[in-house]
């Protein structure tokens, strides 16, 4: 039913043309042809931050992840800033592909079905301070691009040997992006005003577009899946740090969410321009913000409770600020291990910044149908098809 609804929205919203080529029904948006047959992506190449990091930062800085991270699904730390799987894991699984190996992980790495260049704390633009002297990753988007260039030059044996040609393998792969939240966070925590952070957004988006084009040009890829940024004002680390911020009906910090919404407006405008500049690319813009925000406005619809309170943390209204997840702290002279809540599957937020596996799974199910996408086609249909 969701797929049929998406198709109806596709006709109305895009005023698209429908045709039949070689007995396969396709849709055409501008000069890009989308197939309604399931896409056969041989690989996924992901660029992003902690929302999609499957082990990059942990490989570069091993001290970053420890128990109880990973406990729900992997039963041990697995390089992910969550108790379990991320949206990118569910994307890979839905496409019958293995979980992505982090490019920076030299152990147990397999790039046969793609690679993950995302690292936690990554930004689009050059960060002001980098780990270990600051809170942001040195692997910002332009570095992730150069890593992709390096990977693409590796010998054929590291990739899909059964595909027709290496060029075809990269062309048919899915390229995913989930990055931008830390660019906003960097501004907020650098004592910039809301207006100043907003003023920085166009340059951030321009940098994204430049890197996107570079990845497009070097990859030869045709299918791109871009997440916008989530409701940052609903995260405990924002709510705890800026307690006087005006709250919306969900209890989120309204001014900070408005910055995220402005970022998303400019990102969507950039995607429209990218489609004009790159007419052979099938670019899907995914409104992750709305999918995530629904977990705060209607948590019970998805089986959640206390959406603004961190599952793994300590202190205050949001269970955040007095002790980080996995740390051992002193409370009234007694050492306390900051561990997980009893029922993480009922919680939205994991550690004050990141989402639980349950929330990631719920968001994936929402966005994979096409209900939050532009054009509104499901993930499995979001690929370019060359007209015969």
Catalytic residues: 50, 351, 354
B/e letters for 349-380, b = 16+ CB within 10 Å, e = fewer, are: bbbbbbbbbbbbbbbbebbbbbbbbbbbbbbb
Q: Are 59 and 106 in contact (CB under 8 A)?
A: yes
Token pair recorded at residue 294: 């629904």
- The secondary structure of residue 117, as a DSSP letter, is -
Q: 196 — phi, psi (to 5°)? A: -70, -40
Q: Report how far residue 26's alpha carbon sits from residue 36's, in angstroms, rounded to the nearest whole number.
A: 6
Angle at alpha carbon of residue 362, lines to 298 and 74, rounded to 5°: 135
Q: Report how far residue 216's alpha carbon sits from residue 270's, in angstroms, rounded to the nearest whole number.
A: 15
Length of the chain: 388
Cβ neighbors of 217 (< 8 A, separation 6 or more) are none
Q: Are 53 and 100 in contact (CB under 8 A)?
A: no
Q: Of 140, 208, 65, nearest to 200 (Cα)?
A: 208
Q: Are 101 and 112 in contact (CB under 8 A)?
A: no
> Exposed (0-12), middle (13-18) or buried (19+): which is 117, by Cβ within 10 Å?
buried
Q: Report how far residue 47's alpha carbon sits from residue 175's, in angstroms, rounded to the nearest whole number.
A: 8
Q: Report how far residue 211's alpha carbon sits from residue 146's, in angstroms, rounded to the nearest whole number.
A: 10
Cβ neighbors of 164 (< 8 A, separation 6 or more) are none
């Amino acid at each position: 039913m969701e797929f049929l609804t998406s198709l109806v929205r596709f006709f109305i919203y895009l005023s698209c043309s429908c045709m039949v080529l070689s007995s396969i029904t396709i849709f055409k948006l501008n000069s890009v042809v989308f197939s309604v047959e399931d896409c056969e992506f041989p690989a996924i190449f992901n660029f992003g931050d902690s929302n999609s990091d499957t082990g990059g930062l942990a490989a570069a800085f091993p001290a970053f992840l420890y128990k109880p991270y990973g406990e729900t699904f992997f039963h041990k730390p697995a390089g992910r800033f969550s108790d379990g799987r991320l949206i990118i894991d569910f994307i890979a699984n839905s496409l019958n592909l293995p979980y992505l190996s982090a490019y920076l992980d030299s152990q147990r790495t397999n790039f046969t079905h793609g690679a993950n260049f995302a690292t936690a704390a990554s930004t689009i633009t050059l960060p002001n301070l980098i780990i270990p002297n600051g809170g942001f990753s040195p692997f910002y988007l332009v570095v992730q691009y150069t890593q992709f260039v390096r990977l693409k030059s590796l010998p054929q044996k590291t990739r899909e040997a059964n595909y027709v040609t290496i060029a075809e393998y990269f062309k048919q792969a899915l390229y995913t992006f989930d990055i931008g939240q830390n660019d906003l966070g960097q501004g907020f925590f650098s004592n910039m005003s809301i207006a100043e952070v907003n003023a920085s957004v166009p340059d951030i988006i321009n940098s994204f577009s430049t890197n996107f084009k570079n990845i497009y040009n070097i990859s030869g890829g045709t299918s791109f899946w871009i997440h916008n940024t989530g409701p940052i004002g609903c995260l405990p680390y924002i709510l705890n740090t800026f307690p006087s911020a005006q709250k919306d009906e969900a209890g989120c910090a309204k001014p900070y969410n408005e910055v995220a919404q402005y970022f998303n407006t400019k990102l969507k405008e950039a995607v429209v321009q990218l489609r004009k500049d790159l007419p052979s690319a099938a670019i899907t813009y995914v409104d992750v913000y709305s999918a995530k925000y629904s977990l705060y406005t209607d948590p019970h619809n998805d089986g959640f409770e206390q959406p603004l309170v961190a599952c793994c943390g300590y202190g205050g209204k949001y269970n955040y600020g007095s002790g980080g997840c996995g740390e051992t702290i002193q409370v009234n002279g007694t050492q306390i291990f900051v561990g997980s809540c009893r029922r993480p599957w009922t919680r939205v937020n994991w550690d004050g910044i990141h989402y639980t596996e349950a929330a990631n799974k719920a968001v994936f199910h929402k966005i994979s149908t096409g209900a939050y996408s532009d054009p509104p086609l499901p993930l499995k249909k979001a690929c370019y098809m060359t007209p015969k």
